[in-house]
Amino acid sequence: MSKQKQVPKHIKQTARYTALELLTKIANNQAYSNVLINEAIKRHQLSDKDARLMTEIVYGTISRKLTLEYYLAPFIKKAKKVDTWVKELLYLSMYQMLYLDKVPEYGIFNDAVTIAKAKGNPGIGKFVNGVLRNIQRQGVLSVEEVKDEVERLSLEISMPLWLTKRLVDDIGFDETKELGLSLLQPSHVSARIDTRVIARDKAINVLREEGLDVEESQISPYGVVAEKGFLASSSLFKDGRMTIQDESSMLVAPSMQIHVGDTVLDACAAPGGKTTHIATFLNKKDGGKVVSLDIHPHKIKLIKSNAERLHVENVVETKLLDAREVNDEFPDDYFDRVLIDAPCSGLGLLRRKPDIKYHKTPEDFMNLQRIQLEILESVVSKVAQWGIITYSTCTLTHEENKDVVAIFLNKHPEFELIDVLGATHLSKSYHDKQLQLYPHHYHTDGFFISCFRRKA
């Protein structure tokens, strides 16, 4: 349909053009949204206002992609062929028209047509203008037109049909709907306070004095949640007294019941958020240390960098190693505590990384379960008697969570399931000594934690 040409710089450096570039790359499976957004903000040197608009457009359009496809389909059915970038331009324009209250329609139309002409030709500009005007005049189809209730729900929450069916089977129709609608809301930004050096209430006062709108986390005694403001710009962050971390993952280190002199393994440690939290429970004088593993050299550097920024490097020891090779590298009974924050499908992160839901397949869950069990098997003999393994993921599937725990405990009767300390108050999510946080329970990431103690 189009031959792309050189786009003038003053158009390329706008929020909407940048959003279009990113959405087109994501549609072509070239990268994940969160990585592209951070790179684009730096590369285009967008102002704070444009960066916020671009981020909102990209995340919002991806989050509602299936709904937008359903809405757009009747308006382009007569077109012979519509290039991917033109569709993405229409999707992002529709997202603004339908879901953003404070964005004037004339700005949306004007930018969309300008981009279409600059990137394509006047004919594409006319086509885009015509489609958007028709949508403005006629409105979009209601999803209520879809008879099958699960298919209708899939469109309403913009979740692939197979995954919607899967969630309905696991947690029921109503809770799936609640979960899906929750994922369409913006995520909170939260941070962990190093309460060894500053109490949380004092930290909140400091943050508020710096103009940040923060509240105590209701999930973790170490957490604060920001409604407005950029936490990483605060003095606490710069001084290493605070780090950005989701509330759900702040529950991991307390669940390990760490003593100051323990030897701890963080088997899948990058980028080091949980390692640095674990480190705050340790004391070098008492022999405490955490060994942090990763398979990528640049991620090892990242763990070290985070440990130094947060002033816990004296108890953090990094090692380049595949977690499945722990059995070959350390003596038996070497560790008092082990964390397996396992590689997983990441479905708990859909609010922050909405494109994940379009790339996963059911086969991924079983492949990941195999890896998760291999890692557990590799560390099992390295845990001292009465030592604790904490197994966690940031996903929602039974295959990667409860099923892994059941298979492991069935094979290793020398371990027993114990309470997840620090999480038992979360009544919506804590059942049968396991924590399964869904994103709609407390508006956090989805997360799973289970702990087992070696009794023999």
DSSP string, 340-359: EE-----GGGTTT-TTHHHH
For residue 83, say whether it is annotated as part of any ligand binding site.
no
Catalogue the E-assigned strands of 143-194: 189-193
Nearest alpha carbon to residue 319 among 277, 258, 272: 272
Q: Amino acid identity of 102?
A: K
For residue 273, say whether it is annotated as part of any ligand binding site.
yes
Nearest alpha carbon to residue 185 among 448, 447, 439: 439
The CA dihedral of 219, 167, 368, 356, to the nearest 10 degrees, is -80
Largest CA distance in the chain: 75
- 23, 68, 264, 394: the active-site residue: 394
For residue 246, say whether it is annotated as part of any ligand binding site.
no
401: which DSSP letter?
Answer: T
For residue 387, say whether it is annotated as part of any ligand binding site.
no
For residue 262, say whether it is annotated as part of any ligand binding site.
no
Are the CB atoms for 191 and 223 separated by under 8 Å? yes
For residue 322, say whether it is annotated as part of any ligand binding site.
yes
For the question of residue 344 being annotated catalytic, the response is: no
Q: Amino acid identity of 30?
A: Q
Catalogue the E-assigned strands of 157-229: 189-193, 213-216, 223-228
For residue 261, say whether it is annotated as part of any ligand binding site.
no
Distance of CA 287 to the CA centre of its chain: 34
For residue 112, say whether it is annotated as part of any ligand binding site.
no
d(CA 304, CA 308): 6
Are the CB atoms for 120 and 4 separated by under 8 Å? yes
For residue 288, say whether it is annotated as part of any ligand binding site.
no
246: which DSSP letter?
Answer: -
For residue 101, say whether it is annotated as part of any ligand binding site.
no
Q: Which residues are catalytic?
A: 394
Binding residues for S-adenosyl-L-methionine: 268-274, 294, 322, 341
Binding residues: 268-274, 294, 322, 341
